[in-house]
């Protein structure tokens, strides 16, 4: 039995949008909160592709979790990697410490990884874009490919270095594909002597019949049109059948490319398997409508790790607003449980979807697709929204200034090839 004199202890695993919003929604609750993350920082994932494409620095879109929550005195922050969850004793085990971490209520918000369609070996050659490390890896690949192309004597190998294949036509894939040609045409061109970086080839591959499948079809068409104007080769209804260090196969077709980036499919974080709860095919937790586990009133899930039904056979999408809403709902339901009140089912309020295309175009589907905007207006709207939601005053000012600089001077500021790991091809 719980000691009634002790404040209930809520442990949140994950400092992404879901975990942070859960912590914040418990600010005035009579609980002690512990938030655990494998990294020390929250990442503003919607702008990760800008780090990958040298427009922003990693620190521009991230902030220490303990700094974000510094004024909320009932929250402690811990850097740690959860290795085991024991729902019987209500404890967690961390890789870093032998002592078990007890909880009264648990929110699992550890997010998603990429799904490689049963080919985990593709991950090593085709990095995804979920973390700052991923973004640094893609940035390094892009910059190294151009460095190598500049000094490559063999024409076929040079072309392969200057070919970028992006797998997955959702917002991340569309945004990556839209930035690459403009960046190579504008910012990079004056720096090279032997190659013409405006000649890079960018191929965007999508298995479904249209790009941005969650958007209204008219906006998908607009995105395809805008990308074609940027000379991106868009391949819809095309499945990748093999990926290796030399390129991509799509059935009989083969594209020689030294850089393949993965923006297709989500799989739940490995933690979902530790819970002993029913999972869907992507490893996401099939929770009750109030976000708790079917057989456990003390454990909630929130964000990309949760498979929550939405409309007609679809699931709530893996976007920041959905994660934020789930985190809040989980926190409120914990408060209800503690107060002995009934919990409330989670209902997703679809605020809209947005994707930029290159330098000054975007598509936006708002109010459940009833409002659709595209082009420059949508791009300005996108700018405004992302700056507004970015964590921290410093980050906002820094991002605004870098964007202004990039936009006005056609430059890209953050072109560091940082780690040695990839420095020699292989």
Q: Which residues are at the interface with a second copy (CB under 8 A)?
A: 38-41, 57-60, 62-64, 66-67, 70-71, 73, 76-79, 81, 95-97, 99, 132-133, 136, 143-144, 147-148, 150-151, 153, 190-194, 393-395, 397-398, 401-402, 405, 411, 413-420, 423-425
- Tell me whether residue 70 or residue 273 sits nearer to a second copy (CB atom): 70
Contact (CB, 8 A) for 308 and 21:
no
- Tell me whether residue 180 or residue 354 sits nearer to a second copy (CB atom): 180
- Tell me whether residue 49 or residue 346 sits nearer to a second copy (CB atom): 49
- Integer Cα distance of 148 and 251 in angstroms: 29
Supply angle C-alpha 290, 295, 298, rounded to 5.
60
- Integer Cα distance of 330 and 107 in angstroms: 7
Pull the structure tokens for residue 224: 């395809």
- The count of other CB atoms within 10 Å of the CB of residue 415 is 15
- The count of other CB atoms within 10 Å of the CB of residue 133 is 12
Q: Classify the phi-psi angles of 207: left when phi > 0, otherwise alpha if psi is within -120 to 50, otherwise beta.
A: alpha
- Tell me whether residue 76 or residue 270 sits nearer to a second copy (CB atom): 76
**Strand-pair partners of 64:** 41
Least Å distance between CB 290 and a second copy?
Answer: 30
User: For residue 4, what are the contacts with CB-CB under 8 A and spacing of at least 6?
Assistant: none
Q: In what order do the strands lie in the sheet with 105-108?
A: 75-79, 32-37, 9-13, 105-108, 296-301, 292-293
Least Å distance between CB 391 and a second copy?
Answer: 12
Contact (CB, 8 A) for 247 and 165:
yes
Question: Residue 426, exposed/middle/buried by CB under 10 A (0-12, 13-18, 19+)?
Answer: exposed
Least Å distance between CB 379 and a second copy?
Answer: 22
Least Å distance between CB 51 and a second copy?
Answer: 10
Least Å distance between CB 256 and a second copy?
Answer: 20
- Tell me whether residue 59 or residue 249 sits nearer to a second copy (CB atom): 59
Distance from CA of residue 279 to its chain's centroid? 21
**Strand-pair partners of 306:** 285
- Tell me whether residue 78 or residue 372 sits nearer to a second copy (CB atom): 78
Q: Classify the phi-psi angles of 403: left when phi > 0, otherwise alpha if psi is within -120 to 50, otherwise beta.
A: alpha
Least Å distance between CB 302 and a second copy?
Answer: 23
Q: Classify the phi-psi angles of 285: left when phi > 0, otherwise alpha if psi is within -120 to 50, otherwise beta.
A: beta
- The count of other CB atoms within 10 Å of the CB of residue 205 is 25
Least Å distance between CB 304 and a second copy?
Answer: 21
Least Å distance between CB 79 and a second copy?
Answer: 4
Residue 382, φ and ψ in degrees, nearest 5: -60, -50
152, 175, 206, 353: the catalytic one is 175
Is 96 assigned a catalytic role?
A: no
- Tell me whether residue 37 or residue 304 sits nearer to a second copy (CB atom): 37
Site of tokens 């298995």: 207
- Tell me whether residue 45 or residue 238 sits nearer to a second copy (CB atom): 45
Pull the structure tokens for residue 343: 């919990």
Active-site positions read: 175
């Amino acid at each position: 039995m719980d000691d009634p004199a002790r404040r209930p202890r809520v442990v949140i695993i994950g400092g992404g949008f879901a975990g942070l919003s859960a912590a914040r929604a418990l600010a005035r609750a009579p609980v002690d909160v512990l938030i655990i993350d494998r990294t020390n920082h929250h990442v503003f994932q919607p702008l990760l592709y800008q780090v990958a494409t040298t427009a922003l620095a990693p620190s521009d879109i991230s902030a220490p979790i303990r700094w974000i929550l510094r004024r909320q005195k009932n929250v402690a922050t811990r850097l740690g990697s959860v290795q085991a969850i024991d729902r019987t004793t209500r404890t967690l085990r961390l890789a870093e410490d032998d002592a078990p971490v007890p909880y009264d209520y648990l929110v699992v918000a550890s997010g998603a990884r990429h799904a490689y369609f049963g080919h985990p070996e593709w991950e090593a050659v085709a990095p995804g874009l979920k973390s700052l490390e991923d973004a640094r890896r893609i940035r390094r690949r892009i910059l190294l490919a151009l460095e190598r192309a500049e000094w490559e004597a063999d024409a076929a190998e040079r072309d392969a270095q200057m070919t970028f294949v992006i797998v997955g036509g959702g917002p991340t894939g569309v945004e990556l594909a839209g930035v690459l040609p403009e960046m190579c045409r504008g910012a990079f061109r004056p720096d090279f002597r032997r190659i013409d970086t405006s000649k890079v080839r960018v191929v965007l591959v999508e298995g479904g019949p249209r790009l941005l499948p969650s958007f209204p079809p008219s906006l998908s068409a607009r995105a395809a049109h805008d990308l074609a104007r940027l000379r991106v080769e868009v391949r819809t209804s095309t499945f990748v059948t093999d990926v290796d260090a030399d390129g991509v196969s799509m059935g009989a077709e083969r594209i020689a490319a030294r850089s393949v980036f993965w923006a297709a499919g989500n799989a739940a974080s490995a933690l979902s398997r530790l819970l002993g709860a029913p999972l869907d095919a992507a490893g996401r937790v099939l929770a009750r409508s109030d976000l708790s586990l079917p057989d456990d009133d003390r454990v909630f899930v929130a964000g990309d790790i949760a498979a929550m039904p939405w409309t007609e056979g679809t699931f709530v999408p893996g976007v920041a607003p959905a994660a934020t809403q789930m985190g809040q709902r989980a926190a409120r339901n914990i408060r209800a449980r503690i107060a002995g009140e009934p919990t409330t089912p989670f209902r997703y309020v679809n605020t809209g979807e947005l994707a930029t295309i290159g330098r000054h175009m975007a598509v936006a589907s708002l109010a459940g697709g009833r409002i659709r905007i595209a082009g420059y207006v949508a791009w300005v709207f996108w700018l405004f929204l992302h700056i507004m939601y970015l964590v921290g005053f410093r980050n906002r000012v820094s991002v605004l200034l870098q964007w202004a600089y990039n936009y006005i001077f056609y430059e890209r500021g953050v072109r560091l090839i940082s780690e040695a790991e990839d420095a020699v091809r292989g």
